[in-house]
A = this chain, B = another copy of it.
Amino acid sequence: MKKYNIPVEAALEVIGGKWKVVILCHLIKDKRRTGELKRLMPGITQKMLTQQLRELEEDGVILREVYNQVPPRVEYSLTEYGWSLKGILDSLCAWGEQHIEKTYPNKEEVLIQTEELEQV
């Protein structure tokens, strides 16, 4: 059984790493298909995406729904437990925004513009 020195380490085990918070921030806005997530996160590879999604699913914060179609359709969404992270995710997003503004006064240089067609 995993041992922690302080409780916050348990939270980091669930949402730590390079991608999980980003994935969750997308899923907090809407449920998403695998391909949508990939487009929303241009830097991630299929392998990493699947891997991170599996771990989030195991930890009970996201739900994976498979529709029996061809070609396959898989949708990811937050579970009720996942929604308990909303406060953290929101403040992280807000802090990131103001940190960018503080660090790079002309913020348009820093944010990569992605045309999120699905979001229109």
Give 1 or 0 for each of A37-75: 1 = CB within 8 Å of chain B CB. Answer: 000111100000000000000000000000000000000
How far is it, in angstroms, between the C-alpha of A16 and the C-alpha of B112 when the chains are bound?
20
Copies of this chain present in the complex amount to: 2
Chain B residue at minimum C-beta to C-beta distance from A89:
B8
Residues 64-115 (chain A) with a chain B CB within 8 angstroms: 81, 84-85, 87-89, 91-93, 95-100, 102-104, 109-112, 114
A-side interface mostly: helix
Q: Evaluate contact between A95 and B84: CB separation under 8 angstroms.
A: yes
Interface size, A (range): 35 or more
> Could you jot down 27 A-B contacts, CB within 8 Å?
A1-B110, A3-B112, A4-B111, A5-B41, A5-B114, A6-B22, A7-B93, A7-B99, A7-B100, A8-B22, A8-B25, A8-B89, A8-B93, A10-B96, A10-B99, A10-B110, A11-B92, A11-B95, A11-B96, A11-B99, A12-B18, A12-B22, A16-B16, A81-B102, A84-B95, A84-B98, A87-B91
**A-B contacts besides A4-B110, A5-B22, A5-B111, 4 pairs, CB < 8 Å:** A3-B111, A6-B22, A7-B99, A85-B95
